Amino acid sequence: MRGGVPAVLAMLAGTVLVGSSVAGCSGPDQHGSAQQRVDAWVSSSDVGETIGTLQGDDSAITKGVAVHLTPNALHAVCAGLETDASDADGNLPAPDSQITDDLSSAYHDEVAAAGDCFTGASGNAALLDRSSVERGHALALMSAAFARIIQVTGMVPSTTTTTSAGGESDAF
């Protein structure tokens, strides 16, 4: 056997070091109880703020359609929803499959709603109506995910989109 015991020990030590460094790269939402993992994910992903932002975008579109914003102004509002929903999708998966499934579907509905809104802004009432239905469905899914977060963590995430004077926000 070439190298003998020292070579085997060196190989084992390398394996342990690689395994330790890989384990060290996992986020805080991958260890502990379900409550601890979801709590850590809520804090690191700012999901409450994200949901608050999307609710604000949805409300802005509803108001924009109601007051007959110009097509260019409505395009901008719809594009904001698409950007925010696409960005939100980057915070998935959550450490809970139900939360992940609900938010993933909600974010995809929001992107579809934004597209229909953008195209419908030039006067296509059917697309604006479809966007409204999609946004309603997305809001219901986000509410279900929010309820699941509360069920798992026992806490209500903040949906405020503002930060404190120090520039930090608290997830709960």
CATH number for the domain harbouring residue 146: 1.20.120
Give domain status of residue 75, yes or no.
yes
Q: Write out pLDDT tens, residues 97-152.
A: 999 999 999 999 999 999 999 999 999 999 999 999 999 999 999 999 999 999 99
Predicted TM-score (pTM) of the model is 0.77
Q: Which of 105, 119, 103, 111 is nearest to 47 (CA)?
A: 103
Q: 3-state DSSP call for residue 12?
A: helix
Q: Quick one: tokens of 147? A: 């309820």
Q: Cα(161)–Cα(78) distance, rounded to whole angstroms?
A: 19
Q: 3-state DSSP call for residue 73?
A: helix
Q: Which has more confidence, 6 or 30?
A: 30
Domain that includes residue 82, residue range: 31-153
Domain total for the chain? 1
Give domain status of residue 102, yes or no.
yes
Give domain status of residue 126, yes or no.
yes
Average pLDDT over residues 76-93: 97
Q: Write out pLDDT tens, residues 25-57.
A: 444 456 799 999 999 999 999 999 999 999 999
Give domain status of residue 164, yes or no.
no
Give domain status of residue 22, yes or no.
no
Q: Cα(11)–Cα(36) distance, rounded to whole angstroms?
A: 35
